Amino acid sequence: MQATVAAFDPDTHRGKVLLDSGYSKEFDSDAFAVSGLRLLRLGQRVALDLTPEGRVAGLWIPTMPAP
Helices (H), the chain: 29-35
Q: Which residue has the higher pLDDT, 67 or 63?
A: 63
CB 47 within 8 A of CB 60: yes
| Beta strand 14-19 pairing with 24-27 | antiparallel
Q: With cut-offs at 50, 70 and 90, classify the pLDDT of residue 14.
A: very high
Q: Measured between alpha carbons, how far is 30 from 55 in angstroms, rounded to an integer?
A: 11
Q: What is the pLDDT of residue 65?
A: 61
Q: Measured between alpha carbons, how far is 17 from 58 in angstroms, rounded to an integer?
A: 12
> Would the pLDDT of 37 be above 80?
yes
Average pLDDT, stretch 54-61?
92
CB 43 within 8 A of CB 52: no
